[in-house]
Amino acid sequence: MQHLGDYKIDDYITFGVQLHRFSSGAVYAPTGNVTYTFYEDNSATAPTGGNLSQLNSKTGLYSARVQLTTANSFEAGKEYFIHVEATVDGVAAGEMFHFRVIATPQVALIDDAITAAKFDESTAFPLKSADTGSTAVARTGADSDTLETLSDEIAAAKAVIDNVHDTDLPAVKTVVDTIQADTDLLDDAAGGIADIHTDIGTLQTMLTDIHGTDLPAVKSETAAIKAKTDNLPASPAAVGSAMVLTAAYDAAKTAATQASVDTIDNFLDTEIAAILADTNELQTDLVNGGRLDLLIDAIKAKTDNLPAAPANDTTIHSDLDAIWTLINDSYTHLNSDLDLIWADTNELQIALTDGGRLDLLIDAVKAKTDKMTYTSGNDLDVNVQKINDVTLVGDGSGTPMGAA
């Protein structure tokens, strides 16, 4: 809970809140209005209330300014709480502020208000002469000292303590040193013991002054200070980081934590279930006759055939080198043959192009075959005139063919 200070009647009080999302801490807009209610002297009495307004269009930033008037049921000498409420990210949140309305000091210089005749000079504020009229002084009793009076009392106590520390104690030390020096003269000639008695008398006088004057003064000032501190509460109201969080805030943080735990729990359930499924599958595969068991048995059957002492790998390296040499020689010959094939292929491509040597030969052959006729199926029609350079006569039909 934040203390906003002390105010007087008709003063304005300004307060505000910055809303945050409980799950991430980021600024967050509320759902609905952000309301405020004033409560008087820790009671259910609520002088006034209303809604805070968004400030400068900032997300989640809301403020209000209220005048502390008697018309709004505010009174001097009272303490007030401001309770601000809002729903943020689905969670009901609240914040508390505290302030006091103090009375305006009234000082009236009334004739004979306080005079020497009416004032007990045994109190903390004796008057040495009768003050009347405009010189009358408004005084406060010892039980209601002002801060200035308290400050004066503390300063007086400090002055007495400083005097004891700075003056009296060094003087005592000087006397003690003198006594020590005089003690060293005990065996000296006449005058040593007499000096000691003199110094002891001086020391007694100083101690008497300290006991009879200085210490009572310190005691009196300390008692005055204690009287003021006795009025302070044993546990002053908390402010800033010491504020007690509302139950709604605690519930929201608990809910957010539980949600995170639930998410982790669900993730672990899924992962453990998958691991368990894989483990069950492995157990099934590894049992006698299972898939992995059969594969392992097959591998073992092969490895069982390996000799206990395999041949020296030098022979293997020699054989591999010989194989590599054959492969390299074959590659060399193959590469040469491919070069020849490549040259012949290029030559064929040139010869087969339009107008190339093979193209012209094919065209000449085609010119001859184009003259062939087939009148009966796949039988070629031929007009034979010579056989082995022998001229034939006849037509093969009416006149048989034969040598001339």
Q: Show which of 214, 229, 244 is a domain's final residue.
A: 229
In a domain, 154, yes or no: yes
pLDDT at 236 > cutoff 60? no
Residue 222 lies in domain: 140-229
The domain tally of the chain equals 3
Contact 33, 49 (CB under 8 A): no
- 17 and 98 in one domain? yes
- 55 and 7 in one domain? yes
Contact 302, 296 (CB under 8 A): no
- 161 and 132 in one domain? no
Convert the pLDDT of each residue in 46-105 to its tens digit.
Answer: 778 999 999 999 999 999 999 999 999 999 999 999 999 999 999 999 999 999 999 876
- 168 and 131 in one domain? no
Which residues, listed in sequence order, are joined to residue 6 by a DSSP beta bridge?
A: 100
Q: Which two tokens stand for residue 169?
A: 């104690």
Convert the pLDDT of each residue in 123-158 to its tens digit.
Answer: 545 545 555 555 545 455 445 555 556 667 777 877
Strands 61-67 and 53-54, how do they pair?
Answer: antiparallel
In a domain, 87, yes or no: yes
Q: Show which of 183, 213, 229 is a domain's final residue.
A: 229
pTM for this one?
0.30
The pLDDT value given to residue 141: 47
CB atoms inside a 10 Å sphere around CB 74: 22
The pLDDT value given to residue 280: 84
- 87 and 54 in one domain? yes
The residue with greater pLDDT, 58 or 307, is 58
In a domain, 293, yes or no: no
CB atoms inside a 10 Å sphere around CB 240: 8
The pLDDT value given to residue 30: 96
Strands 53-54 and 91-102, how do they pair?
Answer: unpaired
| Separation of alpha carbons 95 and 2, rounded Å | 9
Convert the pLDDT of each residue in 340-369 to its tens digit.
Answer: 888 888 888 898 899 988 889 898 998 888
- 123 and 50 in one domain? no
- 150 and 128 in one domain? no
- 146 and 134 in one domain? no
| Separation of alpha carbons 315 and 328, rounded Å | 20
Q: Report which of 84, 149, 161, 87 is spatially closest to residue 123, judged by C-alpha positions.
A: 149
- 84 and 176 in one domain? no
Q: Tell me, what CATH number does 60's domain have? A: 2.60.40.10
In a domain, 200, yes or no: yes
In a domain, 10, yes or no: yes
| Separation of alpha carbons 335 and 358, rounded Å | 27
- DSSP designation for 372: -
| Separation of alpha carbons 57 and 258, rounded Å | 33
Q: What percent of the chain has pLDDT over 70?
A: 77
| Separation of alpha carbons 196 and 10, rounded Å | 74
Contact 15, 35 (CB under 8 A): no
In a domain, 343, yes or no: no
In a domain, 11, yes or no: yes
Q: Which two tokens stand for residue 336?
A: 């040469």
The pLDDT value given to residue 250: 67
> What average pLDDT does this structure show over 289-300?
87
| Separation of alpha carbons 29 and 90, rounded Å | 11
The pLDDT value given to residue 112: 45
> What average pLDDT does this structure show over 206-234?
77
- 213 and 148 in one domain? yes
- 114 and 83 in one domain? no
In a domain, 287, yes or no: no
